[in-house]
């Protein structure tokens, strides 16, 4: 089998670690052939989608081959009547969205700048956007997966029906696995019809947990309740309503918020992460949003994310030296953990920053890694506890 392989150059480096080769498989079988060859020669592999987030996570301990999925870019099956799509991992999120929009459907994740980002990368990083509150995250929308294990074994689980409880759900395990268990080759998702209408209610206002909770619990059913606070002081709240009578429902929500403009356009910051050299993800119980917001502000981070789902992205407002960042993260983490929350550092250039904090099931996770990748050849060192 002739898999295209080229010499790597400096641009191919994964978080500063340059690979020796870049492999460009075109089929699942070719991915398998590459991984089998790498296994025989003990070469370390890092999978890449659009390459937009290869700097997330620690640098790999070693990296011989970058497995670039860009050639696996076919939407394999859009069963519109079944609200299901099956796509290769290298399909960009934009291409997927375009194919689905043709039939009035969507994959209800909200990845912005989706020109390069791929299905595989989106799953492997498991980022979630505003509408996760209503539709769940990637793991909730994924119903089937085909993966290639480090020894070249091709395995699938789930299928192309939404309701299915046969066997273990490997899709869950690979979602968020950051390329450390194997390569995601194909994914099948459940879809939603595109909403008939949408409105945003936007207000620059102080927030209270009580108001945020009443927005989220409103029977007008907002799809998202988002907060933006770039400077630790001024907050903007935006609520999305989708479906029939969106305008009237958004107006009803204005009663709850006590302020705001109803528009047909998302605010320009909606669901966007702009700077991700230093990027934290904060999780917190929705009823503690105000405290999480305050904690982020005091630690010198902007805060943008979902009050309703209890997840926000924190960008560093200043350039902070390593020691200071490490200490800040530790303090912020302690504060959020006391609320029942978590802080994960998605990206930082510094080795000395603890990215993950406490992971309660780490021994189990290590055993999973050992079983799937006994040779530690898939993105070694890129995940929790040095997995």
Partner 1 sequence: METLTAALRSLLPHDSVITDPVRLRTYECDGLTYHRATPGVVVLPDTAEQVARVVRVCNDFGVPFVARGSGTGLSGGALPREDGVLIVTSKMRRILEIDLDNRRAVVEPGVTNLAITEAVRDRGYYYAPDPSSQQVCSIGGNVAENSGGAHCLKYGFTVNHVEACEIVTPNGDLVTLDRMDPGYDLLGAFVGSEGTLGIATKITVRLSRAPEAVTTVLAAFESIEQGGQAVSAIIGAGIVPAAIEMMDALAIEAAEAAVACRYPEGAGAVLIVELDGPQAEVERQFTQLTEICSGAFELRVAADAAERAAIWKGRKSAFAAVGRISPAYIVQDGVVPRTSLPGVLAAIDRLSQEHGIRVANVFHAGDGNLHPLVLFDDAEPGAGERAEVVSGAILDLCVEHGGSITGEHGVGVDKARYMPKMFSADDLDTMQLVRCAFDPRGLSNPGKVFPTPRLCGEVPGVRKGVHPLVESGKAEQL
Ligand X SMILES: Cc1cc2nc3c(=O)[nH]c(=O)nc-3n(C[C@H](O)[C@H](O)[C@H](O)COP(=O)(O)OP(=O)(O)OC[C@H]3O[C@@H](n4cnc5c(N)ncnc54)[C@H](O)[C@@H]3O)c2cc1C
**What value, to the nearest 5°, has the Cα angle with vertex 279 and ends 145 and 179?**
25
Q: How far apart are CA 353 and CA 199, in angstroms?
A: 40
Query: Which residues have CB under 8 Å from 189's CB, separation 6+?
Result: 84, 85, 87, 107, 141, 142, 143
Q: What is the DSSP string of 347-376?
A: E-S-TTS-SS---TTHHHHHHHHHHH-TT-
Q: How far is the CB of 233 from partner 1 (least distance, A)?
A: 25
Of the two residues 46 and 87, which places its CB atom closer to ligand X in the complex?
Answer: 46
Of the two residues 268 and 318, which places its CB atom closer to ligand X in the complex?
Answer: 268
Q: Which residue is nearest to ligand X (CB)?
A: 121
Of the two residues 124 and 293, which places its CB atom closer to ligand X in the complex?
Answer: 124
Of the two residues 151 and 276, which places its CB atom closer to ligand X in the complex?
Answer: 276
Q: How far is the CB of 166 from partner 1 (least distance, A)?
A: 5
The answer to whether the Cα torsion of 162, 167, 168, 170 is positive or negative is: negative
Residue 54 binding partner per list ligand X, partner 1, none, with a CB distance cut-off of 5 to 8 Å that depends on partner kind: ligand X
Q: How far apart are CA 192 and CA 105, in angstroms?
A: 6
Strand partners, 144: 158, 188
Residue 110 binding partner per list partner 1, ligand X, none, with a CB distance cut-off of 5 to 8 Å that depends on partner kind: ligand X
Of the two residues 71 and 365, which places its CB atom closer to partner 1 in the complex?
Answer: 365
Q: How far is the CB of 252 from ligand X (least distance, A)?
A: 27
Q: How far is the CB of 275 from ligand X (least distance, A)?
A: 9
Q: How far apart are CA 23 and CA 59, in angstroms?
A: 19
Residue 53 binding partner per list partner 1, ligand X, none, with a CB distance cut-off of 5 to 8 Å that depends on partner kind: ligand X
Alpha helices in the chain (DSSP H): 28-41, 93-101, 119-125, 132-135, 138-141, 170-174, 209-216, 246-257, 289-298, 322-338, 362-372
**What is the widest separation between alpha-carbon atoms in the chain?**
65
Residue 46 binding partner per list partner 1, ligand X, none, with a CB distance cut-off of 5 to 8 Å that depends on partner kind: ligand X
Q: How far is the CB of 146 from partner 1 (least distance, A)?
A: 9
Of the two residues 5 and 287, which places its CB atom closer to partner 1 in the complex?
Answer: 287
Please count the other Cβ atoms lying within 10 Å of the Cβ belonging to residue 231.
10
Of the two residues 276 and 337, which places its CB atom closer to ligand X in the complex?
Answer: 276
Q: How far is the CB of 47 from partner 1 (least distance, A)?
A: 16
Tokens 């609200």 belong to residue: 83
Q: How far is the CB of 283 from ligand X (least distance, A)?
A: 15
**Residues at the contact surface with ligand X, assessed by CB under 6 A:** 46-54, 57, 69, 89, 109-113, 116-118, 120-122, 124-125, 127-129, 178-179, 183-184, 271-273, 276, 379
Residue 306 binding partner per list ligand X, partner 1, none, with a CB distance cut-off of 5 to 8 Å that depends on partner kind: none
Residue 386 binding partner per list partner 1, ligand X, none, with a CB distance cut-off of 5 to 8 Å that depends on partner kind: none
Residue 251 binding partner per list partner 1, ligand X, none, with a CB distance cut-off of 5 to 8 Å that depends on partner kind: none
3-state helix, strand, coil in the chain (%, to 5): 30, 25, 45
């Amino acid at each position: 089998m002739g898999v295209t392989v080229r010499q790597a150059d400096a641009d191919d480096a994964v978080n500063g670690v340059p690979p020796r080769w870049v492999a460009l498989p075109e089929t699942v079988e070719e991915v398998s052939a590459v991984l089998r060859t790498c296994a025989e020669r003990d070469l370390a592999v890092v999978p890449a989608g659009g390459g937009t987030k290869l700097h997330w996570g620690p640098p790999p301990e070693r990296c011989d081959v970058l497995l670039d999925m860009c050639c696996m870019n076919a939407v394999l099956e859009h069963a519109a009547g079944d609200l299901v799509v099956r796509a290769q991992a290298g399909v960009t999120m934009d291409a997927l969205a375009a194919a689905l929009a043709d039939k009035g459907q969507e994959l209800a994740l909200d990845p912005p700048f989706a020109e390069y980002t791929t299905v595989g990368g989106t799953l492997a990083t498991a980022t979630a956007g505003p509408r996760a509150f209503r539709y769940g995250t990637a793991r909730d929308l994924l119903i089937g997966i085909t993966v290639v294990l480090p020894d070249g074994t091709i395995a699938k689980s789930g299928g192309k029906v939404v309701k299915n409880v046969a066997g273990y759900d490997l899709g869950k395990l690979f979602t968020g696995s950051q390329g450390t268990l194997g390569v995601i080759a194909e994914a099948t998702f459940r879809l939603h019809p595109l909403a008939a209408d949408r409105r945003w209610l936007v207000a620059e206002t102080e927030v209270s947990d009580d108001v945020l909770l009443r927005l989220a619990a409103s029977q007008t059913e907002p799809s998202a309740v988002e907060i933006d606070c770039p400077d630790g002081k001024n907050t903007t709240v935006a609520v999305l309503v989708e479906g029939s009578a969106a305008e009237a429902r958004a107006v009803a929500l204005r009663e709850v918020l006590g302020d705001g403009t109803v528009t047909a356009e998302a605010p320009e910051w909606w669901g966007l992460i702009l700077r991700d050299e230093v990027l934290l993800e904060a999780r917190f119980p929705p009823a503690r949003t105000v405290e999480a917001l305050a904690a982020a502000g005091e630690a010198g981070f902007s805060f943008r994310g979902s009050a309703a789902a209890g997840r926000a992205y924190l960008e560093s407002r200043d350039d902070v030296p390593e020691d200071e960042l490490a200490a800040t993260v530790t303090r912020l983490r302690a504060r959020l953990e006391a609320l029942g929350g978590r802080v994960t550092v998605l990206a930082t250039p510094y080795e000395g920053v603890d990215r993950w904090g406490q992971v309660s099931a780490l021994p189990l996770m290590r055993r999973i890694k050992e079983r799937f990748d006994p040779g530690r050849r898939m993105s070694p060192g890129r995940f929790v506890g040095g997995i």
